[in-house]
A and B are shown apart, each in its own frame.
Chain A
Amino acid sequence: MSRSQKRPAEGLQIDGFTLGPLLHRGGFATIWEVTHPDHPGPMVMKVPTILDGDDGPTIVGFEIEQMILPRLSGPHVPRLIAAGDFAVMPYLVTAKLPGTSFQELFDRAPLPPDQLVALAIEIATALHEVHRQRVIHLDLKPGNLMRDEAGRLVLIDYGLARHLDLPDLLGEEFAIPMGTFPYIAPEQYLHHRDDPRSDIFAFGAMLYELATGRLPFGRTTTLRAVRRRLWRDPQPPRALNPDLPPWLQEIILRALEVEPEDRFQSAAQMAFDLGHPDQVQLTARATKLEQDGVWPVLRRRWRARRIRGYLPAPTQEDTARAQVVMAAVDLSPEMEALSQEILSATREILHFRPEARLACVNVLRSARIQLDQGTDEAGNNLHVARLVALKAWGEALGLPEGRVTYTVLEAPDPGNALTEHATRILAGHIVMGARASSALRRYLGSVSAQVVAEAPCTVTIVRLPAPGI
């Protein structure tokens, strides 16, 4: 294959793009501002720096981005505009994101917990969007977070990423584990590139940094130091920042577990816990103030001597198993039989997805305008009563605390409220009931039909068997 014939420089024209000023010179690539008569709006061109020596990872990283970026969509990923290959000059043109990366923000850490949590939910949501599209980022770090014009969080740089359906060009080819040493998961040291939970680990490392101002494993620069995280746990963040609430330490340390099985099983579940502090199941992780003692560490170290790998990474089916399942139930007396049917359906779904979390939801239909204080108080009582009833319903499933949550939504339009809630909690599956067919229902439309039409995920509609004829 012939080598590139053009080198990037200000003023260079290629495929209709004109290179403007150099914006950034990194180790592997240069970033240029570009214009094109057919493409309005600010754009940047990334050109890999190709040297004559050992540039294998640079080239492959560029190829991976060229493969993956066109297959990603949504607000949380860069929008690819054009690509050029090695025949003339390799490049990728994406919409320009305003501002700089989050590195500066991280340099100001620790952040106040509420600010940290708000940002963490944004990152988890973006990560869920990327994972949902079968892509594992594998190089999450502050420098790869940016915001778009609308202020939405964007995960950039897919040069080390893995698309679970496409050939892994980095696969076996390169001997060093790729990624940014302070953030990468221990299994990346072992060359595993197919586990979305590796991103959960790097995300946990970023949260640790935001919470304490320190990196969980220090400024790791050597492979030897990366290897240590196969057995050595980080110092608990509350030892460094006592203002950090125990539930947040629980989340951070869970994300940083050595074994992928012990971490959050999906970004959606992590986002859910971040958004529901009162429902986070606290373990010894929440309150510990010291690293693990000598015995657990020795045990892990002993095992690390032998292991060449972890359990197989989750397959597509396993990823679905770690969903958030949302069960929406109508608790009114005439719907009792249907609510029991929804319960059975939910039990079946959870049976086959042992990692899934259940979010039980009930909608309290509210007037559009609150009239006065008295109504407020009555409304409050009703809300509590509904919550009690919802818990009583869900407890029949016998799920351990921490696997199930209960929410009563107050809204004038139940269909809308359920769809919005499902979107917010990144639900992967909704289970709900539908009333029997009736003339009235046909005229008024149904909540379930609206949810089916608008929900961002799979919806299972439960119906009572029709009466015999």
Chain B
Amino acid sequence: MRIALLSDIHGNREALEAVLADAAARDIGRCVILGDIVGYGPDPAWCVQRIQEMEAAGALVIRGNHDAAIAGSARDMNATARASIDWTRPRLSAAQTGWLAALPLTIREEDRLYTHASAHSPGDWIYVTSDRDAMASFRSSDAGVIFCGHVHVPALYSSDIHDRIQAHAERPRIPVPLLASRRWLVVAGSVGQPRDGSPQAGWAIFDTATRELSFRRTPYDTAVTAGKIQAAGLPEELALRLRSGE
């Protein structure tokens, strides 16, 4: 089965639609949403509704820190994120807010663990950006492959038979076999707000039969989303960020 891994959609309808259309052409058997459906972007309600429909059709959905902040607190966030949470809250129905708050922090499926941030105390929203962060995740789970998001930059780490951590260069499109002799940590990139220099929507595919992972990039019209952000009165930098991918 081929699993599509989508993280950090952040209310970006155009990016989500483009990724789902791309995924539909790639023989995907299941979608896993790794959190942060809302925040930053101009279409939170539409995105939540779309993901709810996908969940009804079998998708797995994880809670991210922005999703949690809707019903909870945005106190720990920076000013921009906080402003966009404040903007988002009144645009979601009570049912949607309740649904977001009730999403699980982690899901374990066979030898795979899905989580939004570090698998080490998932509710603390720790970024996995180094070998050391990856090691903390590996130590807190015995899963063969850990999938997370939160960083907005795709990355791949492995832990070998002696628990040595290696970071591996990430190359879009090329399938990498995740050997069963190691454990792996996949940071899936961001659908709705990439920060690695490419404005194209980032996501990943994992094939459970071949154990091959492919990072994907899907182009979409960033100008449309950026225009909506400006029209909505959301912070200007959020629009700029979509165009540059940084």
Measured CB to CB, the residues of B under 8 A from A are 156, 158, 160-162, 164, 166, 168-169, 171, 174, 176-177, 179-183
Looking at A161-169, A350-358, A415-423, the stretch in contact with chain B turns out to be: A161-169
Nearest B residue (CB) for A54:
B162
A38 within 8 A of B: no
**Nearest B residue to A62, CB-CB:** B181
Chain A, Cβ-Cβ closest to B156: A167
Contact status A166-B176, CB under 8 Å: yes
**27 residue pairs A–B, Cβ–Cβ below 8 Å:** A1-B183, A56-B160, A59-B160, A59-B181, A62-B181, A63-B179, A63-B182, A66-B179, A66-B181, A67-B177, A67-B179, A70-B177, A85-B179, A86-B180, A86-B181, A87-B180, A90-B181, A165-B174, A166-B176, A166-B177, A167-B156, A167-B166, A167-B176, A169-B158, A169-B160, A169-B166, A171-B166
CA distance A90 to B171 in the complex (A): 28
Residues of A within 8 A of B181 (CB): 1, 59, 62-63, 66, 85-86, 90
Instruction: Assess whether B182 is in contact with A166, with CB atoms less than 8 Å apart.
Output: no
| Residues of A contacting B166 in the complex (Cβ-Cβ under 8 angstroms) | 167, 169, 171-173
A60 to B161 alpha-carbon distance, docked (Å): 9
Name A229-261 residues within 8 Å CB distance of B: none
Q: How far is the CA of A167 from the CA of B158 in the complex (A)?
A: 10
Q: Which residues of B contact A171 (CB under 8 A)?
A: 166
A residues at B contact (CB < 8 Å): 1, 3, 56, 59-60, 62-63, 66-67, 70, 85-87, 90, 165-169, 171-173
Q: Which of B156, B168, B171, B181 has the most CB of A within 10 A?
A: B181
Asked if residues A1 and B161 are in contact (CB atoms below 8 Å), the reply is yes
Q: Is the CB of A173 within 8 A of B182?
A: no
Please tell me if the beta carbons of B180 and A85 are within 8 angstroms of each other in the complex.
yes
What A residues does B169 contact at CB under 8 A? Answer: 167
**What are the residues of chain A within 8 A of B171 when measuring CB–CB?**
165
Q: Is the CB of B182 within 8 A of A1?
A: yes
Residue of B nearest to A169 (CB): B166
B177 cross-chain contacts in A, Cβ below 8 A:
66-67, 70, 166
Report the nearest B residue to A50, measured CB to CB. Answer: B161
Q: Which residue of A lies closest to B174 (CB)?
A: A165
CB distance from A205 to the nearest CB of B (A): 30
Cβ contacts under 8 Å, A63 to chain B: 160, 179, 181-182
How many Å from the CB of B138 to the closest CB on chain A?
A: 10
Across the interface, name the chain B residue whose C-beta is closest to A71: B177
Docked Cα-Cα span, A62 to B180, in Å, equals 12
Q: Please indicate the chain B residues that have their CB under 8 angstroms from the CB of A87 in the complex.
A: 180
CB distance from A308 to the nearest CB of B (A): 20
Contact A166 B179 (CB under 8 A): no
Q: Are A173 and B164 also in contact (CB < 8 A) when A167-B158, A167-B169 are?
A: yes
Chain A's closest residue to B184 (CB) is A167
In the complex, what's the smallest C-beta–C-beta distance from A161 to chain B, in angstroms? 14
Contact between A166 and B161 (Cβ–Cβ < 8 Å)?
A: no
Given the complex of chains A and B, what is the CA–CA distance between A467 and B186 in angstroms?
Answer: 57
Q: Given the complex of chains A and B, what is the CA–CA distance between A167 and B183 in angstroms?
A: 14
Contact of B168 among A56, A85, A167 (CB under 8 A): A167
A85 to B160, CA, bound (A): 13
A-B interface, 9 closest residue pairs, ranked by CB to CB distance from nearest: A167-B168, A85-B180, A165-B174, A86-B181, A85-B181, A1-B161, A63-B181, A63-B179, A67-B177
When C-beta atoms are compared, the residue in chain A nearest to B210 turns out to be: A70
Residues of B within 8 A of A60 (CB): 160
Most chain B CB within a 10 A radius of its CB, from A1, A63, A87: A1
Q: How distant is the Cα of A67 from the Cα of B184 in the complex, in angstroms? A: 15
Using A59-B162, A166-B174, A167-B166 as known contacts, list a sample of 8 further A-B pairs with CB atoms less than 8 Å apart, ordered by residue number in A.
A56-B162, A59-B161, A62-B181, A67-B177, A85-B180, A167-B156, A167-B158, A172-B166
Give chain A nearest CB distance to B28 CB in angstroms.
23
